[in-house]
Amino acid sequence: MSRLAALVVTAALLAAHQPGAAQQPVTMAPNPFAPLPDGAVIGPQGPMLPGPPPLPRNSAVIPPLDAELVWTKMVDATDDYFKVQSEQRVVFANGVPTEGRIETFPQTGATILEPWRGDSVGWNERWESTLQSIRRIGAMRLVPDPGGWRIEVVVQKELEFVARPMRATAGGASFRNDDSLYRYGTPMPTLGQQVGDQPRPVAAPTPNMGWIPLGRDVLLEQKMLARVLAKLGVSPLPQAEPYYQPPDGSPAAPGGAAAPAAATPAGPVYGTPVPPELVPPGAVIAPGPPVPIESLPRP
């Protein structure tokens, strides 16, 4: 009993101190009352730093490396967490590359007694996989991009849908849906049955209720993407990010306290058009979306 307790404590400590145990890094939001940096673009959605369109957190654009090298590292990183089911490599047709895709088999979530597995990222995910029947299915894409290659990772998390919870008052003759005994169907030459004999089922087939989708596992997606970039030894190309996104409600001053009326600078409300005299020097004014001529006021 003492060995089991020591094993549980050791697994908990290893899971808590693993590199991916942190949930989300705390980042400081830019000060909305500070002047805009040089080169800011005033667009219809607010100030934007110059650069290409932003990408989701589960993808990154890398320089134009050899497609075979990138694909090998992607398969190597995927194999660290899942078992690869199929590979569709990048094919060059008349010099134009196609999209590559890696599909994986469903993988049950790592528990607190399996610290060597890293598919359950963070303490919450590992406890959930220990107390629930959780599985994950991964996919990785290699898409051509004007800047090189775009690597995208998608991990879907699912919860097993069973007929009744565990420890329920079910009969002792009930069988699980993942049984290994042959109980129904065409006879097989196993367990004393010969081909041509009549079926001798011992129970009715137990239907599989299926799996309940729980959405995407963002933490594992970011961990797998970071693993691919580390194996390649490259950094993702910088992408554009909004300079400031106002929270719900009125903006607050730095520190969490409400800004006094005297300290609030005079000017238009966030999201409204900025007059030309209030545009910072050096800022580029981006045109807004096209307006249908039918919506213009008549003279």
Tokens 């991009």, located at residue? 145
Dump pLDDT digits (tens) for 117-148.
Answer: 888 888 899 998 888 889 999 999 999 988 88
**How is residue 239 written in tokens?**
């992408």
- Nearest-angstrom CA–CA distance, 197 and 202: 15
Query: Where residue 20 falls among pLDDT bands split at 50, 70, 90?
Result: very low
**Predicted confidence (pLDDT) at residue 270 exceeds the cutoff of 50:** no
Lowest mean pLDDT among 65-79, 152-166, 217-231, 261-275: 261-275
Per-residue pLDDT at 240: 54
- E strand map for the chain: 41-43, 46-48, 59-62, 84-88, 92-93, 96-97, 100-104, 107-108, 134-145, 148-160, 211-216, 284-285
Per-residue pLDDT at 22: 43
Highest mean pLDDT among 42-46, 219-223, 287-291: 219-223
- Nearest-angstrom CA–CA distance, 61 and 146: 9
Per-residue pLDDT at 21: 43
Mean pLDDT of 212-216: 89
Answer yes or no: is 85 within a domain. Answer: yes
- Nearest-angstrom CA–CA distance, 51 and 61: 13
Per-residue pLDDT at 251: 45
Answer yes or no: is 193 within a domain. Answer: yes
Query: Where residue 95 falls among pLDDT bands split at 50, 70, 90?
Result: confident
Number of CB atoms found within 10 A of residue 84's CB: 14
Answer yes or no: is 197 within a domain. Answer: yes
Answer yes or no: is 265 within a domain. Answer: no
Per-residue pLDDT at 234: 85
- E strand map for 26-147: 41-43, 46-48, 59-62, 84-88, 92-93, 96-97, 100-104, 107-108, 134-145
Per-residue pLDDT at 268: 43
What mean pLDDT is reported for the chain?
A: 71
Per-residue pLDDT at 9: 66
Q: How many domains does the chain have?
A: 1
- Nearest-angstrom CA–CA distance, 287 and 2: 69
**Predicted confidence (pLDDT) at residue 19 exceeds the cutoff of 70:** no
Per-residue pLDDT at 157: 93
Q: Is the pTM of this model over 0.85?
A: no
Answer yes or no: is 10 within a domain. Answer: no
**Predicted confidence (pLDDT) at residue 266 exceeds the cutoff of 80:** no
Query: Where residue 94 falls among pLDDT bands split at 50, 70, 90?
Result: confident
Range of the domain at 212: 57-163+183-240
**Predicted confidence (pLDDT) at residue 262 exceeds the cutoff of 50:** no
Answer yes or no: is 98 within a domain. Answer: yes
Mean pLDDT of 67-86: 91
Tell me which of 185 and 223 has the higher pLDDT.
223
Query: Where residue 277 falls among pLDDT bands split at 50, 70, 90?
Result: confident
**Predicted confidence (pLDDT) at residue 103 exceeds the cutoff of 70:** yes
Answer yes or no: is 278 within a domain. Answer: no
Answer yes or no: is 91 within a domain. Answer: yes
- Nearest-angstrom CA–CA distance, 221 and 238: 19
- Nearest-angstrom CA–CA distance, 236 and 57: 11
Query: Where residue 276 falls among pLDDT bands split at 50, 70, 90?
Result: low
- Nearest-angstrom CA–CA distance, 227 and 135: 21
Per-residue pLDDT at 40: 72
**How is residue 133 written in tokens?**
């029947």
